[in-house]
Amino acid sequence: MRKSSAMVPYLIWMALFIVIPLLLVVYYAFTVTTPEGTTWSFENFTRFFEPIYLRVLWRSLALALISTLICLLLGYPVAMIMAGNAFSRKNVIMLLFVVPMWMNFLLRTYAWLAILERNGFLNVLLSSLSLPRLNILYTNAAVILGMVYNFLPFMVLPIYSVLSKIDKGVVEAAGDLGANSVKVFTRVIFPLSLPGVVSGITMVFMPALTTFVISRLLGGGQFTLIGNLIEQQFLVVGDWGFGSAISMVMIILILLSMAIMSFFEDEDKEATLW
């Protein structure tokens, strides 16, 4: 009895801020409003499957995947260094990663704008070293850079937390059984760290797929991602129906990728069976 009454505020909160908005999204997605009135329709969805929008979807997926991969390749070694090192150095590296996260996300991204600009910090530095200028602002590269920069900590921290919990005795046992350091890594450390890798990938891929700030600022608006598309529909075009439909596609995509990831998480036990 007490338990269920204690849950009431949460239930109200969830209803107000999660369930009702979701229902509204569903409602808008499946209706079209014309001067004659509002009717049920799949039109918003069929519109999304036009090539121009599919290209946006494809680009979003590609950029998110590339960013996630780069985050993994950069983040794993950092997590290993942090997990394997003496106390003081570990804390310094950790701080380096966490301090930028205390700063506002928008500010951080604006800072990159200043760095990458035609006459920004990077190019001033390059030309002072008499190296050729680099104009990567408003390219895919800049967007990926922004994503990697912003989301890297979400890759490093979960991997670090799993790695630091691996019993040193297990590593010794593998060495005892004849495994050199490469084999210790491929056969013991990496498989044991998979849960961290999976949650790192999830935590980077999701926001990378849905971001619209990074692509707008660093992509200069010419590299529309699916997040920008949704934003435009709601705030600029005012087509809530189409915006809701795209949002629903996104929700489905995210649920799908979460399902895939959790499948991998269960699978890593079976995968090593052979």
Partner 1 sequence: MTENIVQLKGVSKIFDETVALADMNLSIRKNEFVTLLGPSGCGKTTTLRLIGGFEQPTNGTIWFEGKDISNVPSYKRRVNTVFQRYALFSHLDVYENIAFGLRIKKLDEQTIRQKVGKMLELVNLQGFEARDVNSLSGGQQQRVAIARALVNEPEVLLLDEPLAALDLKLRREMQHELKNMQKQLGITFVFVTHDQEEALSMSDTVVVMQDGEIQQIGTPEMIYNEPTNAFVAGFIGESNIVDGIMRQDRLVDFGGARFECVDVGFERDEPVDVVVRPEDLVLIPVEQAKLTGVVRSVTFLGVHYEMIVDAADGTGWLVHSTLMEPVGTTVGLGLAPMDIHIMKKVSE
Smallest gap, in angstroms, from Cβ of residue 92 to partner 1?
A: 23
* Nearest to 147, CA basis, from 99, 221, 210, 230: 210
Among 188, 203, 209, 229, binds partner 1 (CB under 8 A): 188
Residues near partner 1 (CB under 8 A), total: 22
The span from the CA of 16 to the CA of 12, in Å, is 6
Nearer to partner 1, 17 or 267 (CB): 267
88 forms part of the interface with partner 1 (CB under 8 A): no
Dist CA 184 CA 170 (whole Å): 9
Q: Contact between 159 and partner 1 (CB under 8 A)? A: no
* Closer by beta carbon to partner 1, 23 or else 271: 271
* Tokens read off for 189: 């450390």
| Closer residue to partner 1 (CB): 199 or 215 | 199
Please tell me whether residue 177 binds partner 1 under the rule CB under 8 A: yes
Residue 71 and residue 152 in contact, taking contact as beta carbons nearer than 8 Å: yes
Interface with partner 1 by CB under 8 A: which range of 31-39, 55-63, 101-109, 184-192?
184-192
Contact window for partner 1 (CB under 8 A) among 33-41, 143-151, 185-193, 235-243: 185-193
Phi-psi category of 229—alpha, beta or left, where left has phi over 0 and alpha has psi -120 to 50? Answer: alpha
Write out the binding residues for partner 1, residues 241-270 only, by CB under 8 A.
Answer: 268-269
Place of tokens 């013991």: 188
**Is the Cβ of residue 84 or residue 207 nearer to partner 1 in the bound state?**
84
The C-alpha angle 232, 233, 236, rounded to 5 degrees, equals 55
Output the CA angle 6-10-14, nearest 5 degrees.
Answer: 155
Kindly state whether residue 172 participates in binding partner 1, applying the rule CB under 8 A. Answer: yes
Output the six-digit token pair for 63. 């950029």
Tell me which of 10, 40, 178, 266 binds partner 1, using CB under 8 A. Answer: 178
| Residue 119 to residue 134: CA distance in whole angstroms | 10
The footprint of partner 1 (CB under 8 A) covers 167, 169-170, 172-180, 183, 187-188, 191-192, 194, 268-269, 272-273
